[in-house]
Amino acid sequence: MNKFDVKDLNLYYGENHALKGINLPIPERKVTALIGPSGCGKSTLLRTLNRMNDLIENVKITGNVSLDGDDIYQERNVGGLRMKVGMVFQKPNPFPMSIYENVAYGLRAQGIRDKKIIDEAVENALRGAALWDEVSDRLDGHAFGLSGGQQQRLCIARAIAIQPEVILMDEPTSALDPIATHKIEELMEELRKDYTIVIVTHSMNQAKRISDKTAVFWMGELVEHGETAQIFNSPQDERTKGYVNGDFG
Amino acid sequence: MSDVVTVNHAPTAKQSGQVVKALEASANRVDWANHLFKYLFMLSAFIGVFSVGLIGYFLIKEGMPALSYAGVTNFVFGMEWVPPVLFGIAPMIVASLISALGAVVIGVPVALLTAIFLAEVAPKRVADVVRPAVELLAGIPSVVYGFFGLVIIVPMVEKVFNIPAGNTLMAAIIVLAVMILPTVIAISETALRAVPRSYKEGSLALGASPMFTIFKVLLPAARSGILAGVVLGIARAIGETMAIIMVMGNSPAMPRHLLDSARSLTANIAMEMAYATGLHSSALYTTGIVLLVFVMVLNATLLYLNREKAR
């Protein structure tokens, strides 16, 4: 079952043709890794999936991105789409408020005021992000007091607090040290059971370790996609071969 | 040079003799320019501090006779201004505070919404027209604001409230509210734009609406900058002189309501300085001391508010 279906997607930043005729199915409850050299369009594709590209002026999109069969670019309620499709960014970006308020934010944004409901959601989300044991005694502490890895897990908690179906991750560990990275990867092993995960990563090893499917991008084109093992062990395209062998990129 | 680094070889870390010599010479040189600029920066900073000190010193020196004649209590709380006998400036203090406060109550919400519009809502093309227009507002001389008040606001106040003379606190409040707009808008917009983009993205990515994002994340994050804008706006309103003289009526009696004529601290100094002598003149300097104290209190408030934020 495919969660997303990207069909003939073209994206232009002004004159710059950033995504060229992308066709990519993204399966449900699997981890799909998008890899490729810098500027190849993988982050751009990720941001079309929750329409974050809408924030940039002069973006033109043609083609079709559907979530559970519905074209997300026909959808009027972008907020509703983004509730279903959560996002974790490259640099941990907690809000300048308490740990508790960070996690509660998405619920408050939906007008939920009942403290009991929010308390429960915050605890569940923090447990789900493997952060509860570390912060349960200081929920009112400022989020900036956490380490980088903890902040990133807080951002994951914040995203899963509103029950998304998909989590998009844009190089979620590139700003973290190896131990924090390991914790996030462990967490992703848990999250994959409940969520569809799409991750952009520069680390080939990370893609190999955590993903089921891999899609390789090259200068705005999708050159190859398929089972991760197949992409890394028997790549079909010369460019994929060069990239996964570390010859360039 | 080309014999040292060739295209076919990997570049080596060895520099040619000429380069080495130049670097050695540089390492042994005393860097006079560096010292010179250091002292130039220090001197510039000192000029500002020195001026404040000098202004304070002369205000106090010149204002002392009147202050010791009347006493602090009689001066600050006295209701009658009958120079050179009675020096009570309570009516002026009230007029200055009320007009500045009124200007803030009207001006700040308008300014804040404008700043949000410019920073977050307006398409670039619209913002590029509105922003210069607002900036132009800052460049208009205050005497021209006085004209604007005299020709438009004062008659309007007369008509709306059906009073014989529109030169009132109310007219001053409206003129001042417009005058503080550019200050508060410019500083608030800068503060809003300085909020990291990642906050906004994080909020929108959670499905929050743009308005929720503005009020729950962007405004709180820009709080200290916005407060700085508000305080500067108050300072501008308290210090404004010319426009106020032209629209507030200038009677030195205690105003009983917003539709009374009143005289601000600044107007008191500006209008009587030309002919005042002796104690009377000294009393005008004392009025200046009171103004200075107000501004210091405002700045201290700002420091305090920002310290709270940084905690």
Does residue B90 contact residue B76 with C-beta atoms inside 8 Å?
yes
Residue B119 lies in a domain: yes
Q: How confident is the model at residue B311 (pLDDT cuts 50, 70, 90)?
A: very low
B299 or B173, higher pLDDT: B173
- Are B199 and A105 an interchain contact pair (Cβ–Cβ within 8 Å)? no
* Closest Cα in chain B to A93: B198
A238: distance to nearest CA of chain B, Å?
28
Chain A positions touching B204 (Cβ under 8 A) are 52, 55, 82
Is residue B231 predicted with pLDDT exceeding 70? yes
Predicted ipTM of the assembly: 0.93
- Check residue B6 and give its pLDDT: 46
Question: Chain A within 8 Å of B201 (Cβ-Cβ)?
Answer: yes
- Check residue B307 and give its pLDDT: 75
CATH topology of domain A2-92+165-244: Rossmann fold (3.40.50)
Is residue A49 predicted with pLDDT exceeding 90? yes
- Are B216 and A105 an interchain contact pair (Cβ–Cβ within 8 Å)? yes
- Are A109 and B220 an interchain contact pair (Cβ–Cβ within 8 Å)? no
Domain boundaries, chain A: 2-92+165-244
Amino acid at B88: G
Distances (CA, A) of B228 to A64, B238, B255: 48, 15, 30
Distances (CA, A) of B247 to B103, B146, B233: 14, 7, 19
Chain B positions touching A109 (Cβ under 8 A) are 203, 206-209, 212, 216
> Exposed (0-12), middle (13-18) or buried (19+): which is B63, by Cβ within 10 Å?
buried
- Are A155 and B203 an interchain contact pair (Cβ–Cβ within 8 Å)? no
Q: What is the CATH number of the domain that holds B253?
A: 1.10.3720.10
Question: Chain A residues contacting B, CB < 8 Å?
Answer: 50, 52, 55, 57, 79-83, 86-87, 89, 91, 93-97, 105-106, 108-110, 155, 158-159, 162
Select the residue of B206, B209, B221 nearest A105 (Cβ to Cβ): B206
Q: How confident is the model at residue B308 (pLDDT cuts 50, 70, 90)?
A: low
Is residue B12 predicted with pLDDT exceeding 90? no
User: How many angstroms separate the most distant Cα atoms in chain B?
Assistant: 96
Give the C-alpha separation, B95 to B260, whole Å: 10
B281 or B306, higher pLDDT: B281
Lowest mean pLDDT among B25-39, B54-68, B112-126: B25-39
CA angle A123, A128, A133 (to 5 degrees): 60
- Are A162 and B208 an interchain contact pair (Cβ–Cβ within 8 Å)? no
Residue B41 lies in a domain: no
Residue B89 lies in a domain: yes
Chain B positions touching A49 (Cβ under 8 A) are none
Residue B299 lies in a domain: yes
Residue span of the structural domain in which B134 resides: 76-310
Give the C-alpha separation, A171 to B97, whole Å: 54
Residues 6+ apart with CB under 8 A from B41: none
State the alpha helices, DSSP H only, in A20-128.
42-49, 78-84, 99-109, 115-128
Chain B positions touching A55 (Cβ under 8 A) are 201, 204
DSSP annotation of A172: T
* CA contacts within 13 A on the Cβ side of B25: 6
- Are A96 and B202 an interchain contact pair (Cβ–Cβ within 8 Å)? no
Give the C-alpha separation, B220 to B213, whole Å: 10
Residue B248 lies in a domain: yes
- Check residue A244 and give its pLDDT: 83
Is residue B136 predicted with pLDDT exceeding 80? yes
Give, rounded to a whole angstrom, the gap between the first and last alpha carbons of chain A: 32
Is residue B187 predicted with pLDDT exceeding 70? yes
Select the residue of B206, B220, B221 nearest A106 (Cβ to Cβ): B206
B233: distance to nearest CA of chain A, Å?
27
CA angle B165, B169, B172 (to 5 degrees): 100
State pTM to two decimals: 0.84
Residue B266 lies in a domain: yes
Count of domains for chain B = 1
Amino acid at B59: L
Give the C-alpha separation, B109 to B114, whole Å: 8
Residue B5 lies in a domain: no
* CA contacts within 13 A on the Cβ side of A240: 22
- Check residue B304 and give its pLDDT: 84
Select the residue of A86, A96, A108 nearest B205 (Cβ to Cβ): A86
- Are B198 and A91 an interchain contact pair (Cβ–Cβ within 8 Å)? yes
pLDDT digits (tens, 9 = 90+) for B243-295: 999 999 999 999 999 999 999 999 999 999 999 999 999 999 999 999 999 98
Q: Considering just the CA atoms, what is the radius of gyration of chain B in Å?
A: 28
